[in-house]
Each structure stands twice: as structure tokens, then as C-alpha cells.
Amino acid sequence: MTILVTGGSGFIGSHLVDHLLSETNESVIVLDDLSTGTADNLAHLDTDRLEMRDGDVRNAETVADAVIDAGTVYHLAAAVGVENVVENPLASLQTNFKGTENVLEAAAEDGTPVFLASSSEVYGKSEDVPFSETDDAVYGPTTAPRWGYATAKATDEFLALAYHEKHDLPVVVGRYFNIVGPRQTGQYGMVIPTFVDQALAGEDLTVYGDGTQTRSFTHVGDAVEITHELLGNEDAHGEVFNVGAPNPTSINDLAKRVIELTDSDSEIAHVPFEEAYSEDFEEPDQREPDVTKLRNTLGWAPEADLDRILTDVIDERTSDTDDRTSDTDDRTSDKEEASAR
């Protein structure tokens, strides 16, 4: 049986491909347009069990051709994060709406199981932490583009559950909470790679707002293991799960720990959110998953282990300094990850 991973050249997708190739005997097809992903993420894999297809999930025919060749689908391709949607609303929204509908429609033909990568962003600006899967979502107005990412992911979830209800399609929705690890780029505002690059370059670590906002960080290795286990578990089909580690960290504490672990002379620079975004930009203060459902279904859930995450990211970047640290100027700061996921 062959496994299709859309977005498999991206950060989480490439770790999922590694995991599937090492934990199963299946072949893997990656469908990716390389818009935010890169072939470099899979360049270490020298196997004829991997096939790369350059294609856009907004194209129904491209998706159908890939799904028909697969026995299982992990749908991770998306325009990722608030920043992407704010800067490029139409293409981002279409990728997230149409891409998911194309995958589900094609999968429904043969009842092919689908994992849908969703986001903690679907909880919006709810303050009712920790978030459980059936909690209310709270969004701002449609005139504020930042809510487009949340509503696109929420609509994807509605679609997946509707295909399950109507076609008995085996779908699992996983809401990722700040997944972090090697290969993540700081280019789209992800906080940990950005802080690590700034600390290694001896630059100030840019913290947006007062830095008391908290986030739950999850190691990508745990996230892909859970992703694989959930789709393989029939009890999970037709269900939504938080995929994240509890016990959040404040962005200030995160910045301090990065400085300590990199042994850097950098300092923390606080910058008002309005300088990064518009005056009316809304920043949820807290994001923390309730993982009771995940633990009850799989028998385990990830633990918060910030030092393991940071050490892995620092190791990657210090062993790959030439490629990674020269472009810190291009990188935004913690604004997306602190706000978006």
C-alpha cells in the first residue's frame, strides 16, 4: 500500500515522511508545490520507496491522480499561519479551502483514510484554557484578515467531518499546537527558529508585546508519531484531537532559555504588536491543549520538554551555520507563532 503525504516537503510533512519510511514498509508519495517547503527537507532520503510529485492541491485533477495511487492520505499541504493569510489572503484561503475539499472528494471515491492537519488557531481568541476539542471557538470580524486562517482551518474540519458523516470516510482531524523542531524555518515568523538564529548571531531577541503571552511547544517527533498512530486507530476516525503538549511557556521565558542554552550575549527587545501588525491586530494571550482525549485514545500524550526542542534546533543550526544564520535579517520575529498557532 502507498501513503500520500500532501505538503510532505514542508517542516512537519518531511518529518512525517521520515517516520512513515522508517516505521512502515510502505512507499510514500509526496505531493507539494514547494511554495514554503523545500526538496532539501527530503534530500537525506535515498530510497526508491519515495516519489516526489510537484503539484498544487488546488488542482482537483492533480490531487485525484495522487489519491487514487494511495491507500492512506495525510493532508498537510496548506498556506500556513496567520502571516501568510494576512499578506496573501486570496491564494492562502483558496489553498486551504479547495485543497482540503479536493483531497476529501478524491478520498471519498474509494473510502481512503485521511488525516487532516488542523491548528490550535481554530480556537481563535478564546480565553478558556486549556482548550478541549468541543470548546467554543471565538473569532474576530471578517474585516480582520488574521481570522481567515482560523476560519479556513475550521471550515476544513467541518468538511472532513461532513465527509465522514455522508460517505463514512475514515477521517481524523489533528489540531497541532506550536509544533517545533529541526527544519522549521523562521522565515514565516516562527518564534523558536527565529530566537535561536538571533541568539547565535548575537542579535537582540525580538519579543512582540510584553512577552507574558504563553504558548505550548510540542516536539515535531511527538507530533508525527501521534499523527501516524491516530490515523491507524479506528476509534479515532470521525474525531477531532488536540495534538500538543500541555504546560505552556511565556515568550519571555522562552527567550531567556534560548539565550542560556546558546550561551549568547544577546538581550531581549520588546516591540509593540502594532509595529509588527496593524493597530487592531489581536493577539490571544494563551494557547494550551487539553490532551485528555488524545491520552484516552492512544494511551499517551506528549510532555512539555522545551529543552529537548531547543537543543535539537540549536544543534541543527550550529551544525548548518552557513545555510541558516546568514539570513536572520529577513526573518520576522515571534509574531506568527506567538499569535497564530
Q: Toward ligand NAD, which CB reaches closer, 156 or 266?
A: 156
CA distance 281 to 125: 12
Least Å distance, CB 263 to ligand NAD, is 27
Least Å distance, CB 202 to ligand NAD, is 27
What is the CA 33 to chain-centroid distance, rounded? 17
**182 is written with which cell numbers?**
529541526
Q: Toward ligand NAD, which CB reaches closer, 150 or 200?
A: 150
Residues in touch with ligand NAD (CB under 6 A): 7, 9-13, 32-37, 56-58, 76-80, 95, 99, 117, 119, 176, 178-179, 341
Catalytic residue numbers, as ranges? 149
Q: Toward ligand NAD, which CB reaches closer, 13 or 284?
A: 13
Least Å distance, CB 310 to ligand NAD, is 15
Least Å distance, CB 327 to ligand NAD, is 16
CA distance 30 to 225: 18
Q: Toward ligand NAD, which CB reaches closer, 264 or 288?
A: 288
CA distance 287 to 222: 18
Whole-number Cα distances in Å, 44 to 9, 18, 40, 168, 324: 12, 10, 8, 38, 17
Helix (H) or strand (E) holding 103: helix 89-110
* Of 189, 194, 334, 198, the residue nearest 265 (C-alpha): 198
Using CB positions, name the residue nearest to ligand NAD. Answer: 37
